[in-house]
Chains A and B, each alone.
Chain A
Amino acid sequence: MQDDEAALAADTPIAPLDLLVILRHPPHGSSWLREGVDVALVAAAFGQSVGLLFQGDGVFALVEGQRAGPLGQKGTHAQLAMLEMYDIERLWVSASALRARGLTPADLMLPVQLLEADALERLVHAQPHTLLF
């Protein structure tokens, strides 16, 4: 358990990025997640500062140990593994979405910052450009 990955303190400032991509769909069953991450990668490749927020079923994207193939879709693990290479290091996760699905940060493939509802609101308000997938 990574109990030190507690929710962001209420007074921690959240700096605006060029783009926040909010991912709300699971990695399998539709192409929402893949096509959302594609936008984040391209924006980063164009020199933009990009952050990702995983909300709702989007938190399943980060679950360690997924395989791609049996369902005929490519999956998104390989894409997410490239985030660091594209300097996309700000990964936020809705704490309540994670809890609701019985997951903890230890189940996830990448280090993330958990956000409780008030911090989520501050994050979204701080961003001039948000795209929802």
Chain B
Amino acid sequence: MLSYALLVHAAPYSEQGALSALRFAQAAVAQGHRVSSVFFYRDGVHNASTLMAPPQDEVHLAEGWRALAQEHGTELLVCIAASLRRGLMNAEEGVRHGREAHNLEPPFVLTGLGQLVDAMQANDRVITFAP
């Protein structure tokens, strides 16, 4: 049994990387490994959007990530600096920035790059999913 952390740079739907990351995570937990955290960085932060609404005959990435968190305790960590630039924020940041809406909710958590550094130390493997 290995513990994995994933680093996702790929935007949802635009690129294969995000889907591959989710499929890897699902396969890993199905085989008894642990995916302790997924860190979303660069365009990967869009995976966390509450407003994601793909057609019904496509994989729903955000729902897939949420299910992973709920069923396997995987932490979904989203880089706050990369998110704010790209227009993703939770309720707390929405208030701080004077916005009337927000589009990021638990189990996705806004956090800093320090959490990525922690994840590298705490896991057997870190796997990057680029575009």
Whether A38 pairs with B120 at a CB distance below 8 angstroms is no
**A125 interface residue, CB < 8 Å from B?**
no
Proximity string of chain B (92-127) to chain A, C-beta cutoff 8 Å, 1 when within and 0 when not: 000000000000000000001110111011000010
- Report the bound CA distance from A62 to B112 in whole Å: 26
Q: How large is the interface on A (under 10, 10 to 19, 20 to 34, 35 or more residues)?
A: 10 to 19
B82 in contact (CB, < 8 A): yes
Contact B128 A38 (CB under 8 A): no
CB distance from B109 to the nearest CB of A (A): 17
* Chain A residues within 8 Å of B114, by CB: 42, 45-46
Question: How big is chain B's contact interface, by range?
Answer: 10 to 19
Within the assembled complex, what's the spacing in Å between the Cα atoms of A42 and B126? 17
Report the Cα distance A19→B113, complex, angstroms: 14
**Residue interface mask B75-98, A partner, CB < 8 A = 1:** 000000110000000000000000
In-complex Cβ contact of B113 among A39, A129, A132 (8 A):
A39
| Chain B interface main SS type | helix
Contact indicator B117/A131 (Cβ below 8 Å): no
Q: Chain B 18-42, CB within 8 Å of chain A: the 1/0 string?
A: 0000000000000000000000011
Of residues 20 to 77 in B, which have CB atoms within 8 Å of A's CB atoms?
A: 41-42
- 23 examples of A-B residue contacts, CB within 8 angstroms: A18-B120, A19-B120, A31-B42, A32-B42, A35-B41, A35-B42, A35-B82, A38-B81, A38-B113, A39-B41, A42-B112, A42-B113, A42-B114, A42-B116, A42-B117, A43-B113, A45-B114, A46-B114, A46-B118, A48-B117, A129-B126, A131-B7, A131-B126
Footprint of B on A, CB under 8 Å?
A: 18-19, 31-32, 35, 38-39, 42-43, 45-46, 48, 129, 131-132
